[in-house]
Amino acid sequence: MKAYRAAAVQMTSVPDLEKNLAQAEDLIDLSVRQGAELITLPENFSFLGDEDAKLAQAGAIHTASEEFLKRMARRYQVTLLGGGYPVPAKDGKVFNTALLVSPDGEELARYEKVHLFDVNLPDGNMYRESNTVVSGQRLPGVYPSKDFGIMGLSVCYDVRFPELYRHLSQMGAEVLVIPAAFTAFTGKDHWQVLLQARAIENTCYVIAPAQTGFHNSRRQSHGHATIIDPWGVVLADAGTATGVAIAEINPSRLAQVRRQMPSLSHRVFV
């Protein structure tokens, strides 16, 4: 693992595939101009807002999303994560899929979101992700990158389940990537503290690209795409506007924190 600059992209995706991909390309370009070599896009980067419309176009969104990720990675010569897009499954549903792509446009790792967001919030919004999404059946694995460290993938609601990240750290993860479309209501209280907890308890960097703003008349995301170091220090926060959070991922800092706080080696129940 070398020291490198990573970007957590912040988008306001809407129910318009082409508009979203154009926005994503602009933000990838901005990230590259700021020196990022690893660029991460949020959950639902290519389509967000109307579930019926997403299901009706799932095949087209899937194909366009994967082609876009591979084309952008090759064009800009970066490693690129698409944090979540629909991949058709059985019974008319989809997998919420994150894909990591190399600068050659080759698939490096794929993860199908396991924990589905079925929640009634006090602000009156109801979410039933399981109505349209099939839960992934496998825990995420890690991807060992010579340049970017041992990377563990997850998606959004997964962040509330620490056992998933303990699994990743037991497999050697050094960088946890948590792309999200966190709701505005829950995000104001829980987003940052959950990300910091996952970083601290696993002594890992956390890279969390995010959605922000309104995606249709009701759905609103919290924003605050964030990069956090293994001590829990917030290195970059994109606020609530579209843009990017960029910070250095440094192996010497990772080693320093793990020397100072060797909690992973002190585990009793494994």
Active site residues: 43, 113, 156
Strands (E), 142-242: 142-145, 149-153, 175-177, 205-208, 210-214, 220-222, 226-228, 234-237
Cα–Cα separations (whole angstroms), residue 84 to 89, 190, 203, 251: 15, 21, 25, 27
As a whole number of angstroms, the distance between CA 223 and CA 261 comes to 30
Alpha helices in the chain (DSSP H): 17-33, 51-56, 58-76, 162-170, 184-202, 251-260
Helix (H, G, I), strand (E, B) or coil at 208: strand
DSSP one-letter string for 95-141: EEEEEEE-TTS-EEEEEE--S--EEE-TTS-EEEGGGTBPPPSS---
Name the residue among 213, 194, 133, 205 with its Cα closest to residue 169. Answer: 205
